[in-house]
Structure 1
């Protein structure tokens, strides 16, 4: 297992980048402990956008960063059919957009056809990659990659995903 960072060291990545943070999100379900209760409330019929206290610190961080000129973007791979988790996330997405994050969507079939990876990662300033490692209880940590050839491979995947993905707004119109 490679060396992983987590906790404050991982959180610091989102405060220390200079201009751009981009994520490839490829899992149909994430078992994040902080999402268990809000996801259950959604299952119980509580409207997502009226129940965002659990997400507020992240939304505030995105808003502060984007207001200072930084860019937060992600492409989310969608399973076919959508998992229950992804249906919930699709309802959460407008809050991320309102905070300034840009979110695009790509079907699992398209991701597979394009040779995109099955693991999640963040690219910071096109110079540092955080490869995310998950376990049964959610995120274990991130492997930090700065070796130029490896970062270039991740950058290529980013470019491919961005060309093929559809904006959240366009997706929900169809």
Structure 2
């Protein structure tokens, strides 16, 4: 991104009230932690230094400032191996202070949803994520169009209302 475009870190650090994130893909790019899990490696949740990342600290700092951070995931069932792993590592997100919910895709059929994953910060800006078909991140786009922000924020709220809290969602 050009230097005058805020980063995710900047946007989250500037949030005063809320940051909401919608994820709708069943597979994202592969990464070493996912590959390690696929080979049987389990996270030692008692060894926080081994799994706590700068992202988790940024979330924890935002929550400590009074920002409500929520993440909703729309998933196909039975879930993909990648979503099974995401469910497992969501423990870190929850520990950082995120509220996370899961919505089986079959329960979203009557919802009009935005076409991409996104973050909305304080209902003033939206970071849209663009991915390739195989889940590689192509680019992120920061926009401040009020109509787009309203579309994304209201879509998120409709999903959030019927989604299942992380601690109650069972992988199928």
TM class, shorter-length: 0.7 to 0.9
Partners of 1:123 and 1:129 within 8 A in 2: yes
Return 5+ residue gaps in structure 2 as ranges.
none
2:160 maps to 162
**TM-score (normalised: structure 1):** 0.84
Partners of 1:23 and 1:75 within 8 A in 2: yes
User: What is the CA–CA distance in structure 1 between the aligned matches of 2:2 and 2:117, rounded to whole Å?
Assistant: 15
Equivalent runs, 1:81-120 vs 2, <5 Å = 81-120=78-117
Return 5+ residue gaps in structure 1 as ranges.
none
Partners of 2:102 and 2:166 within 8 A in 1: yes
Q: What is the Cα deviation at residue 152 of structure 1?
A: 1.4
Higher alpha-carbon deviation: 8-17 or 37-46: 8-17
Does structure 1 residue 22 correspond to structure 2 residue 17? no
**TM-score (normalised: structure 2):** 0.85
In angstroms, what is the RMSD of aligned CA positions?
Answer: 2.6
User: Whose helix proportion is higher, 1 or 2?
Assistant: 1
User: What is the CA–CA distance in structure 1 between the aligned matches of 2:150 and 2:57, rounded to whole Å?
Assistant: 30
Partners of 1:75 and 1:161 within 8 A in 2: yes
Q: Deviations over 1:57-107 (max 9, x none)?
A: 111111121122111111011111101100000100111111100001101
2:130 to 130, 133, 152: 133
2:7 maps to 9
1:75 maps to 72
Q: Secondary structure at the match of 1:46?
A: coil
Q: Secondary structure at the match of 2:114?
A: coil
Partners of 1:126 and 1:151 within 8 A in 2: yes
Q: Describe the shift of the 1:153–1:118 C-alpha distance in structure 2 as closer, same or farther (beyond 3 A).
A: closer
Q: Secondary structure at the match of 2:77?
A: coil
